[in-house]
Each structure stands twice: as structure tokens, then as C-alpha cells.
Amino acid sequence: MSPRTLLLVVCAIAIFACDREERQFRPKPPAAALSNTIHMSPLQPGMPMQAVQTRNDYESNAYAVAQGQQLFRAYNCNGCHSNGGGGMGPPLMDGKWIYGSDPANIVATILEGRPNGMPSFRGKIPEQQVWELAAYIRSMSGLLAKDVAPGRTDHMAVKNPENETERRPPKQTATPPSALGTD
Amino acid sequence: MSFRVRHRPWCGTLLASVLGACSGIQTALDPTGNGAQAVQRIWLLLFWVCAAVWVLVLLALLWAMLRRRGDYDPATTPEPQPYAPTERRIGRAVGIAVAVTVATLIALTVVSYSAGRGLFSESGDGAVSIEIVGHQWWWEVRYLAAEPSNSFVSANEIHIPVGETVRIILRADDVIHSFWVPNLHGKKDLIPGQVNVLYLSADRSGTFRGQCAEFCGAQHAHMALFVVAEPKENFAEWEEKQRRPAKQPQNAEQERGQQVFLRGPCVMCHTVQGTMAGATTGPDLTHIASRLSIGAGRLPNTRGHLGGWILDPQTPKPGNLMPPNLLPPEDFQALLSYLDSLE
């Protein structure tokens, strides 16, 4: 490899490396056509989700994931999910997913809510922030690259940082009775 | 002559800016209150002492340069030899200069130290207690009261009664900030996990501008606050108004605006006392219409600026936590009418 080629390669790598810290203050939602990928049919809550494969660009951007971390606290997700350990709501740091682990599934859960507890945040949280939250939520069970997942929290640490969390492969769990909506 | 004519506007601007620095809403050279006066005294002392030293040194240099030494021709003049009386004289002169310098430095250190002790020696409750929490990039302001129901929250603006000692309790939520209102006092840091206290007083009424004085992120320069010093009666009136919950909507449009606020994204971060909105991530908006600025001194508080801010806060202040909010026009106007009514 000639020095010139080497220089080009290094420059190219340097340019791509910038994505990790790129800060977009007025971004478009990564998947504007969300409603086309996720159908919230009347039978949907409680049924296993169709497997969807979406790409959330924020999962490769450390700034966006850090924003998601901040929003997780600001919007009081902690109130029910307690730093991912679970409380009133299910834990988010384990590998069990009731409504799907795909970014679009998480976004749909936040926007539309789920039976027996999870409220709908449609119209309350800008969609772009919902995607940031989704990226952070996936980092809680180690699904994000270690160089992107947050390495510390702004507040008192109650668990290992996300970038030290081992990867917990997503498992679709049986629907809990509370989600069947028979009442 | 042409020189004077050509340069007059430039000179005028320079003169105006030099004179302008001595008065204004954000200057340490126009102090009011004990704190700022102490700071100004020590500033003036340092300024005049250093100016005198500078002038003396330059005069000595000038004298050394212009002093006549007689003709010197390297070919005929022999190498100068050490001469004991001259050596002694030089030694004495250098010794005296060093002694004067050391004495001046020690004197200034003592003055500076005692001024600092004087500045931060106050204690007690003060007539008014205000807790200020620094956020990236705005100031949360909490007026404390012995009766908890009498305390209230505001943002980016504090009012103080003239002639009273005001206790300012400084905290930070995220990173280190610094509270600096040059007309009233020196700087003091807001540090996460540590409580700092500062005592202010204003001798005259007026509006003063303060500024975060510790780099705290991208919008550090746009983190300002206003201090309104007013006579005791006016302050009591203002305090009484701030304690009240927000005004209820007076007409259909404001009613709609309130619904937009409560059902839309605003409610996720802001508080309006007297409604369901109680989030504390952003500034308290209970009396937003009574405040001087929006975005922590970024823009004057007018309906137009507020509208622009709501639609796109990332242009005037990139990186702040408030996201752009694209509301339908009718909802948007109604929301503005509602916010305008929150005096």
C-alpha cells in the first residue's frame, strides 16, 4: 500500500469515525414512515409481534444515546422501570421482551402505550426523541456497540454503566396475563 | 486636519465604548451594594498601583536610554574594569527595587485576602432567601419561605428588595456553573453536590444582568439572568403575585391554548402551578409573561420571540434541551395567547 493510499484510508476512517459524536439538534425522525412498518391492530396488544427489522441510526451515535439516557430520567421512565431494573413496569435490562426488541417495536410501545400501565406518549414526546430513547433502552441490555453505549450516568450510579453491560440476547417471552386485557 | 476628520467617527466609537464600560447593567465598574463595592475598591487599588509601577518602570527605562554616557570608541577606549563604588551603587539600587516590589506584592496580597474575607464573611438568613440551581443552560430560581406554601419557583430572573441583605444559595444539577452579577457581587460557583452561599445587597433600584462565569457547555455564553432590584413595597407586590397559581384562561382562545399545553409536549417538561403540568425538567412557566427574557436572556420576552422559540429553539440556542415543536397554526396561536396571559 503506497503512503498516499494509506493516507486516503486513514482520512476515510477519520471521516466515518465522526458519526459517533455527531450532534444533530434539528433532525428528522430516523424512520418517518413508522406507521407503515408497525401496525397496531386491535389484536396486537398481547399477541407476539411480527418480526420487524428496522435500523435506528441513533444506535451508532453516542450523543443520541446519551440524550436518550437523559430523557429516560427527564420523562420519568424511571418512575416505573427504575433504571432498567423494573418495578411497576417490567425490567428493561434483561433479555426478555414482551412486545419485541426491534427499535420499531420499542418506538411503537412508547408512542402507543401498552395495556395495563404503559401510557401512550404520542404527541407528547417528539418522535426523534422517542428514537433516542429506543436506542438507549436497547443499550440497557447490552445490544449496542460498547463505544456508543453510555459509560457513566449524570446521577448517582445504581448499576454498571451500559457500555459494561454484557449482551443479553433478546428472547420473546410469553405474553403476561396482565397484557391479555380480559378485564 | 484631514487625519482628524477621517478618524473622528472611529475615535468617537472608541471613546464611547471606553466610557460605556463604566456604567451599564453588566459592569463591575458601576457597583451597587457592599459586595461589588469591595470588589471595585480592590480593583481600583490594583489598577492605580500597577499603573504607577508601570509608569515608573517606563520612566526609568527612558532615563536609562537617554542618559548621556560620553563618546565611546571601541578602538581607543579600554575594556571597562569592575569598579567597587559603582558595583556597590548598582547593588544598592537593585536591592531597593526588589524590596519595594516584594513589599508592594505582600501589601496587595494582604489587601486582596482581607477583601476576600470581608466579601464572604457574612452569615445568617438574610431578608430574602433564594435558591438558585444551575442547569445547562438556564437558572432555576426558588424563593424559600419559612412557610413552605409561601415558596415559589421561577427562572432566569430574580427580584430583590433594595437595601436588604439577600441570601443566595447556589446549587448545580449537571455541571459546574458560576453566578456572576458584576454590579452586585463577585463570582461564586454552583457545584453539583455542594451548596455555596452568597450574600447580595443593592443600594439602588435597577435591572442588572448576570452571566454564567464558568464554562458549562456549548451555550455557556447564552446563560444569563436578570436581577431586578426594586423598592421594598414593589418587591412585596411582585412576590405576592408570584406566589399565586397561574391565571385561569379568560377566553375561548386561551382555553384552547391551555389544552394544547396540557395535551401536547409542553407538559412533559414544564410546570404551570394551578394546572396538571408539574414537570421540572424545564423552567417553571407559571408566570412566564411577567419575565423579561426567554431562553435565559437569549431573547426578549415578546409574543413573536416566544413563538419562534417554541417552533425552533435550536436556532437561537443550539443544543438546548427543548425540541422543535411544529404545532398546527390555530393551536400554536392559541398556545401563545395562553402563555401571554400567564402574568
A132-161 pLDDT, tens digit per residue, is 999 999 999 999 999 999 998 877 788 889
Query: If we measure between CA atoms, which residue out of A51, A77, A168 comes closest to residue A130?
Result: A77
Largest pairwise CA distance in chain B: 105
> How many CB atoms sit inside 10 A of residue B28's CB?
17
- Residue B45, class by beta-carbon neighbours within 10 Å (0-12 exposed, 13-18 middle, 19+ buried)? middle
Predicted pLDDT of residue A176: 52
Residue A181 CA, chain-centre distance (Å), reads 26
CA-to-CA separations, A166 to A119, A138, B124, in angstroms, rounded: 29, 12, 52
> Which of the residue ranges A160-169, B164-173, B258-267, B286-295 would you say has the lowest mean pLDDT?
A160-169
pLDDT, greater one: B258 or A30 = B258
Average pLDDT for chain B = 90
State the Cα–Cα distance between residues A163 and A136, nearest whole angstrom: 11
Q: Which among A26, A123, A126 has CB closest to B263?
A: A123
Contact across the interface for B174 and A154, Cβ inside 8 Å: yes
State the Cα–Cα distance between residues B37 and B203, nearest whole angstrom: 10
Handedness of CA B206, B212, B214, B220 (dihedral sign): negative
**Average of per-residue pLDDT across B94-117:** 93
pTM (2 d.p.): 0.82
pLDDT tens across B146-196, in order? 898 899 999 999 999 999 999 999 999 889 999 999 999 999 999 999 999
Predicted pLDDT of residue A171: 85
Contact across the interface for A26 and B314, Cβ inside 8 Å: yes
pLDDT tens across A43-98, in order? 555 555 555 667 888 898 999 999 999 999 999 999 999 888 888 899 999 888 88
Predicted pLDDT of residue A56: 87
Is residue A13 over pLDDT 80? no
Q: How confident is the model at residue B18 (pLDDT cuts 50, 70, 90)?
A: low
Predicted pLDDT of residue A33: 45
Measure in Å the smallest separation between the Cα of B342 and chain A Cα atoms: 22
Predicted pLDDT of residue B12: 56
Is residue B334 over pLDDT 90? yes
Is residue A183 over pLDDT 50? no
Is residue A181 over pLDDT 60? no
Helices (H), A1-98: 3-17, 34-37, 62-74, 78-81
B278 Cβ under 8 Å from any chain A Cβ: no
Q: Which residues of B touch A129 (CB under 8 A)?
A: 323
Measure in Å the smallest separation between the Cα of A75 and chain B Cα atoms: 7
Burial code of B185-201, b = ≥16 C-beta within 10 A, e = fewer? bbbbbbbeeeebbbbbb
> Which of the residue ranges A63-72, A171-180, B75-84 would you say has the lowest mean pLDDT?
A171-180
**Average of per-residue pLDDT across A21-44:** 56
A156 Cβ under 8 Å from any chain B Cβ: no
pLDDT, greater one: B10 or B96 = B96
Query: Phi first, then psi: what are they for B227, rounded to 5°?
Result: -115, 120
User: DSSP secondary-structure letter at B38?
Assistant: H
Measure in Å the smallest separation between the Cα of B323 and chain A Cα atoms: 7
Which residue segments constitute the domains of chain B, with CATH numbers given? 128-232 (2.60.40.420), 252-340 (2.60.40.420)
State the Cα–Cα distance between residues B41 and B117, nearest whole angstrom: 14
Contact across the interface for B312 and A26, Cβ inside 8 Å: yes
Q: Which among B264, B315, B324 has CB closest to A124?
A: B264
User: DSSP secondary-structure letter at B200?
Assistant: E
Q: What contacts A168, CB < 8 A, 6 or more positions away?
A: A93, A94, A95, A141, A142, A143
Which residue segments constitute the domains of chain A, with CATH numbers given? 3-179 (1.10.760.10)
Average pLDDT for chain A = 80
3-state helix, strand, coil in chain A (%, to 5): 40, 0, 55
B77 Cβ under 8 Å from any chain A Cβ: no
**Average of per-residue pLDDT across B63-89:** 80
What is the grid cell recorded at B108?
Answer: 496587595
Q: If you average pLDDT over each of A107-121, B49-63, B67-81, B109-123, which comes out highest?
A: B49-63
Is residue A37 over pLDDT 60? no
**Average of per-residue pLDDT across B214-226:** 95
Contact across the interface for A124 and B323, Cβ inside 8 Å: no
A80 Cβ under 8 Å from any chain B Cβ: no
ipTM for the complex? 0.75
Contact across the interface for B264 and A26, Cβ inside 8 Å: no
User: CB–CB of B310/B281 below 8 Å?
Assistant: no
Predicted pLDDT of residue B191: 96
Contact across the interface for A124 and B265, Cβ inside 8 Å: yes
> Which of the residue ranges A45-49, A105-109, B231-235 would you say has the lowest mean pLDDT?
A45-49
Contact across the interface for A123 and B319, Cβ inside 8 Å: no
Predicted pLDDT of residue A35: 46
- Residue B294, class by beta-carbon neighbours within 10 Å (0-12 exposed, 13-18 middle, 19+ buried)? buried
Is residue A11 over pLDDT 60? yes
Is residue B64 over pLDDT 70? yes
> How many CB atoms sit inside 10 A of residue A102's CB?
23
Is residue B249 over pLDDT 70? yes
**Average of per-residue pLDDT across B116-139:** 90
Q: Which residues of A touch B319 (CB under 8 A)?
A: 23, 25
Predicted pLDDT of residue B21: 57
Q: Which residues of B touch A75 (CB under 8 A)?
A: 268, 281
Predicted pLDDT of residue B10: 57
A-B Cβ pairs (cutoff 8 Å, strict): 34
